[in-house]
């Protein structure tokens, strides 16, 4: 048997500033050329494992270790982070932050420069690697001229210039739209085939990673390895949700239909799924039995109307063109489309951060063009993607109260309003806590509370669940659903397809500054052309229903979601 390239032996680790260890009793061997997925919620210790492998632990993050770790036959703490980087290449999660060079070529060459490789040789290597990841036509581009997917290619090329034995990806899908995420998984697969390096992917978006074959999955929870088995085996067990990881949707659907999942049916990938005629019939049977389509809810009064909206920094290059839609009171709507499709620009226009070239935005029929940002804030709330970019007070109470203080509301009234808002948001018990003591999901709640306190009629959220694992995702979305139930109208910018399907009955699709569709979420994902144009991805439910011979995949998806809701998951 070959010697493992990475070997954890009874390994444990505790960060210097933490009271408890983050990793306990880790035993894990990764062999040359293997493809391993490390899955787990945030805080499960999966990223810490990554940091141990690439040498950031102990060099950037000191702490106390127990047991033994060998990477390429050496112990990282007796080596140096530079030595480690010859063995393991790391692609970090933040595609933007890790882009060091001023151009693509420089960034790819960065490691070579540090190794004093002569310039001629360097250019040769950069050209070769750039071709491999298909970025060779962009060598002179600056980072802001690239899409998220392209930046990731550059990062990948940047670690491939060294002949590494293992490639480590830390949540490679976090910042990408669905189609770009799929391409990334394909690219990693190609690179794996061509270089033969071991590939380790740390990710909680299981279904997306499994788009290409993985040899093994390591499931982590609370610092321990729960399972270390072939992918198919773990998927049959159905223990994923208990550890905060979402099972692929098609498998959940099969379970609902009463189909037993075993390894022989290749459960790891929906397109390779082998179903017997009997099993297919079970799925069809379930589909027929669920024929209780809810009547469409009546739409409330018109709240927000956007008419013939054009926007651009010059009339020749429009970022948004002829956008028209109406949002009714009490709706929850998704705005979807690839990065750069104009979704965020639309939000900025509605909030008044930017001014349209032409067209109008109306609130209850009143044209907003004369209203300032501050005036609009009284009825339109905007929540940024990253709560850390919004929170400006150290204490939760002060943060939530901030907007009211600014508006000059009397103290007594403020107190009542803040208390009420904190109760709505489930933050009342924490009212006297510092913000820094909260988890990411709770911080998100604080930012929503700080907007809600102004009692806006409509709340716009930019990527409310980006980078969140299933547990936090559910927490945030259920909360938003609850708010929606209380009468708040909610607009969400997202490229999370599950989110759109599960929580928002309606979706508005953008591509290259134009509105492509305004329809139900299920319809969007079951229209292959729309999916392609907007850089989205059809769900596996669509694929499954076709495989089972159901001719209305859209209804299958709708019934699946309705069923999940009834079951309360």
Partner 1 sequence: MARIAILSYIKRESFVHELTGRAKLVFFLAWSVASMVTYDTRVLVCMLLFSFVIFKVSRIRVKDISFVLGLAAVFLLMNNLFVYLFSPEYGVGLYQSRTVLFTIAGPYTVTLQQLFYHLNMTMKVVCVVPVALLFIACTDPSEFASSLASIGVSYRIGYSVSLALRYIPDIQREYHNISQAQQARGIDLSGKDKLFTRMKNSVAILLPLVLSSLNRIETVSNAMELRGFGRNRKRTWYNLRKMQKNDWIVTALAIAILAVDLIVTFWDGSRYYNPFLSGPF
State in angstroms the smallest separation of the CB of 378 from partner 1: 9
Residue among 56 and 323 whose Cβ is closer to partner 1:
56
Give least dist CB 218 to partner 1, A: 22
- In the complex, the smallest distance separating the C-beta of residue 226 from partner 1, rounded to whole angstroms, is 28
Closest approach of Cβ 353 to partner 1, in Å?
Answer: 4
**Under DSSP, is residue 110 helix (H, G, I), strand (E, B) or coil?**
helix
Q: How far is the CB of 494 from partner 1 (least distance, A)?
A: 18
Task: Give least dist CB 189 to partner 1, A.
Answer: 23
Sign of CA dihedral 336, 339, 342, 346: positive
Q: Which is nearer to partner 1, 365 or 408 (CB)?
A: 408
CA angle 116, 122, 124 (to 5 degrees): 160
Distance from C-alpha of 81 to C-alpha of 170, rounded to nearest angstrom? 17
CB atoms within 10 A of CB 417: 18
Q: Of 242 and 405, which CB lies nearer to partner 1 in the complex structure? A: 405
Nearest residue to 189 via CA among 163, 208, 175:
208
Nearer to partner 1 by Cβ, of 467 and 505: the residue is 467
SS3 359: strand
**Helix ranges (DSSP H) in 352-386:** 373-376
- Measured CA to CA, the distance from residue 304 to residue 281 in angstroms comes to 45
Here the tokens at position 159 are 């670690």
Nearer to partner 1, 94 or 228 (CB): 94
**CB 114, min distance to partner 1, A:** 4
Choice between 274 and 405, CB closer to partner 1: 405
CB of 70 to partner 1, least distance (A): 19
* Beta carbon nearer to partner 1, 249 or 335: 335
Nearest distance, CB of residue 56 and partner 1, angstroms:
6
Task: Please identify, using beta-carbon distances, which residue of 110 and 433 lies nearer to partner 1.
Answer: 110
Q: Smaller CB distance to partner 1: residue 75 or 186? A: 75
CB nearer to partner 1: give 72 or 178: 72
Contact 124, 105 (CB under 8 A): no
| 414/424 Cα distance (integer angstroms) | 15
Closer residue to partner 1, CB minimum distance, 264 or 389: 389
Tokens of 67: 């047991």
Angle, helices 470-485 vs 440-452, to 10°: value is 20
- Cβ-in-10-Å burial (0-12, 13-18, 19+) of 515 comes to buried
Rounded Cα distance between 416 and 401, Å, is: 10
Helix or strand run (H / E) with residue 346: helix 343-351
Return the number of the residue (292 or 389) whose C-beta is nearest partner 1. 389
Q: Which long-range contacts (CB under 8 A, 24 or more apart) does 319-324 make?
A: 319/345, 319/513, 320/345, 320/346, 320/349, 320/356, 320/513, 320/514, 321/513, 321/514, 322/359, 322/514, 322/515, 323/359, 323/514, 323/515, 324/515
User: Which helix H or strand E contains 43, and what residues bound it?
Assistant: none
Q: How far is the CB of 109 from partner 1 (least distance, A)?
A: 4
Binding site for partner 1 (CB under 8 A): 54-56, 59-60, 81-82, 85, 90, 92, 94, 96-103, 105-106, 109-119, 122-123, 126, 143-144, 158-159, 313, 348, 351, 353, 373-374, 376-377, 380-382, 384, 386, 388-393, 402-403, 406-407, 450-451, 454
Angle between helices 148-160 and 119-132 (to 10 degrees): 130
Shortest approach of partner 1 to residue 36 CB, angstroms?
19
| d(C-alpha 94, C-alpha 569), whole Å | 32
Of 324 and 436, which CB lies nearer to partner 1 in the complex structure?
Answer: 436
Closest distance of CB 120 from partner 1, Å: 10
What is the arrangement of strands in the sheet containing 302-314, beginning at the earlier edge strand? 317-328, 302-314, 358-363, 366-367
- Residue 256 CB, nearest distance to partner 1 (Å)? 41
CB 328 within 8 A of CB 300: yes
- On whether the CB atoms of residues 199 and 188 are closer than 8 A, the answer is yes
């Amino acid at each position: 048997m070959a010697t493992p390239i990475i070997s954890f032996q009874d390994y444990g680790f505790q960060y210097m500033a933490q009271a408890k260890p983050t990793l306990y009793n880790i035993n894990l061997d990764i062999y040359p050329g293997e493809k391993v997925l490390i899955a787990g919620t945030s805080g499960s210790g999966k990223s810490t494992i990554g940091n141990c492998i690439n040498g950031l632990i102990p060099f950037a993050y000191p702490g106390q270790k127990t047991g033994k770790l060998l990477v390429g036959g050496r112990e990282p703490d007796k080596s140096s982070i530079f030595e480690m980087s010859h063995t393991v290449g790391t692609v970090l999660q933040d595609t933007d932050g890790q882009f060091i060079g001023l151009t693509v070529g420089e960034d790819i060459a960065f490691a070579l420069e540090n190794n004093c490789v002569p310039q001629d040789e360097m250019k040769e290597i950069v050209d070769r690697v750039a071709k491999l990841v298909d970025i060779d036509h962009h060598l002179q581009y600056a980072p802001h001229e690239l899409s998220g997917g392209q930046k990731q290619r550059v990062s990948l090329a940047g670690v491939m210039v060294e002949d590494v034995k293992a490639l480590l990806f830390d949540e490679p899908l976090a910042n990408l739209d669905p189609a770009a995420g799929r391409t990334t998984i394909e690219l990693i697969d190609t690179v794996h085939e061509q270089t033969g390096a071991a590939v380790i992917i740390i990710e909680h978006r299981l279904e997306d990673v499994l788009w290409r074959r993985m040899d093994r999955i390591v499931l982590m929870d609370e610092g321990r390895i729960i399972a270390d088995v072939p992918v198919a085996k773990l998927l049959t067990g159905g223990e994923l949700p208990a550890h905060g990881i979402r099972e692929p949707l098609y498998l959940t659907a099969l379970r609902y239909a009463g189909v037993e999942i075993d390894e022989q049916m290749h459960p790891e990938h929906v397109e390779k799924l082998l179903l017997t005629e009997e099993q297919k019939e079970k799925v069809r049977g379930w589909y027929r039995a669920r024929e209780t389509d809810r009547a469409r809810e009546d739409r409330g009064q018109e709240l927000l109307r956007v008419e013939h909206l054009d926007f651009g920094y010059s009339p020749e290059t429009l970022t948004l063109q002829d956008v028209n839609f109406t949002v009714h009171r009490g709706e929850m709507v998704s705005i979807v489309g690839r990065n750069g499709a104009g979704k965020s620009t639309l939000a900025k226009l509605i909030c008044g951060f930017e001014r349209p070239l032409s067209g109008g935005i109306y609130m209850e029929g009143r044209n907003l063009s004369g209203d300032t940002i501050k005036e609009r804030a009284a009825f339109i709330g905007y929540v940024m993607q990253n709560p850390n970019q919004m929170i400006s007070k150290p204490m939760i109470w002060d943060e939530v109260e901030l907007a009211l203080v600014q508006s000059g509301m009397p103290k007594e009234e403020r107190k009542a309003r803040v208390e009420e808002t904190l109760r709505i948001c489930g933050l009342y018990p924490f009212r006297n806590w510092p913000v820094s003591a909260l988890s990411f999901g709770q911080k998100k709640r604080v930012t929503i509370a700080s907007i809600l306190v102004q009692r806006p009629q409509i709340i716009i959220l930019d990527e409310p669940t980006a980078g969140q694992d299933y547990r936090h995702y559910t927490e945030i979305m259920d909360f938003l659903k609850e708010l929606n139930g209380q009468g708040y109208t909610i607009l969400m910018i997202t490229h999370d397809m599950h989110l759109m399907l599960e929580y928002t009955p309606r979706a508005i699709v953008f591509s290259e500054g134009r509105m492509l569709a305004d329809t139900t979420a299920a319809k969007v994902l079951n229209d292959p052309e729309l999916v392609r144009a907007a850089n989205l991805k059809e769900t596996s439910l669509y694929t499954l229903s076709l495989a089972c011979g159901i001719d209305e995949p859209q209804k299958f998806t709708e019934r699946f979601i309705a069923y999940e809701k009834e079951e309360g998951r």
